[in-house]
Amino acid sequence: GEALAVSARVAPLGSRLVLLLVEDLTEARRIEAVRRDFVANVSHELKTPTGALSLLSEAVMDASDDPEAVERFAGRMQIEATRLTNLVQELIDLSRVQNDDPLEDAEPVRVDELVAEAIDRCRQQAGSKQITMAAGGTAELRVWGNRGQLAAALGNLVENAVNYSPARTRVGIAARRVAVSGGNEIEIAVTDQGIGISEKDRERVFERFYRVDPARSRATGGTGLGLAIVKHVAASHGGEVTVWSSEGQGSTFTLRLPEAGAARDRDRTSGGPL
């Protein structure tokens, strides 16, 4: 009687263990598939500009007695070379945010400085499209984190807002403090009046190399890595990035980050080994 009772207690435990093992294997397989996809994607993305460069250099050689054609081909070579440089830079940025612990050299970072830097980065492109950029609510606010990574994240959001908006529209950046349990958070929202993102694409735009319209993304120098970098930076800072959008009307990307506060900073900096 007792043996039966024991085995009845053990059996469900055993099947749960098997289930855990199966789930583990499935997860390992999923991670392996993601890694393979990533390598395949990188190879494909590198092939486009390198292939074009090699064809264009042949074209230059064949056209050596036609200076106008040479100039035209050289111009296109420059575009492809820039594309290649952007891609390599974004891959370096992505691997950096994935491998470095951003909180190792975390500090209080002023939101108005981050916003000014992001706006600066896009000033030329926004100017050529007559896009107005306006920021509000940033005074006095400070987030806690790695300055370089936070600047890259916000810069990417503002860059996208400008990239995916028609001429003579407005890009707004608004920051505010939100009280949550266990300390305040800072919300930075980047709003555009651009093309918007459909519901089905909204779930996927944070994936590496996912683009709604690959041709449009490439034309603006996009790599499809920007939002993956933003998502990673947000998560590793204990925050989150979310998107709201209405197709044809515009999008709002909201970055939520921990606020830098005296108590919190003391807690964190004294958190190391004693």
Find the binder of ligand ADP among 197, 234, 257, 260 (CB under 6 A).
197
Question: Which pair of tokens denotes residue 163?
Answer: 């990239």
Query: What does the alpha-carbon distance between residue 203 and residue 243 come to, in Å, rounded to a whole number?
Result: 9
Q: Which residues contact 157 (CB under 8 A, 6 or more apart)?
A: 118, 190, 230, 241, 253, 255
Find the binder of ligand ADP among 60, 109, 143, 227 (CB under 6 A).
227
Q: Which is nearer to ligand ADP, 42 or 70 (CB)?
A: 42
Q: Which is nearer to ligand ADP, 96 or 268 (CB)?
A: 96
Beta bridge partners of 125: none
155 scored as a contact of ligand ADP (CB under 6 A): no
Shortest distance, position 131 Cβ to ligand ADP, whole Å:
12
Stretch touching ligand ADP by CB under 6 A, among 49-57, 66-74, 94-102, 224-232: 224-232
211 scored as a contact of ligand ADP (CB under 6 A): yes
Task: Kindly determine how many residues on this chain lie close enough to bind ligand ADP according to the rule CB under 6 A.
Answer: 23
Q: Which is nearer to ligand ADP, 145 or 224 (CB)?
A: 224
Q: Give, to the nearest 10 degrees, the angle between helix 147-163 and helix 111-128.
A: 30
Q: Which is nearer to ligand ADP, 30 or 216 (CB)?
A: 216
195 scored as a contact of ligand ADP (CB under 6 A): yes
Burial of 164 (0-12, 13-18, 19+ CB in 10 A): buried
Burial of 129 (0-12, 13-18, 19+ CB in 10 A): middle
223 scored as a contact of ligand ADP (CB under 6 A): yes
Beta bridge partners of 185: 178, 258
131 scored as a contact of ligand ADP (CB under 6 A): no
The secondary structure element, H or E, covering residue 128 is helix 111-128
Q: Are strands 240-246 and 107-110 parallel, antiparallel or unpaired?
A: unpaired
- Which residues sit at the interface with ligand ADP, rule CB under 6 A? 156, 160-161, 164, 192, 194-197, 205, 210-213, 217, 222-228, 251
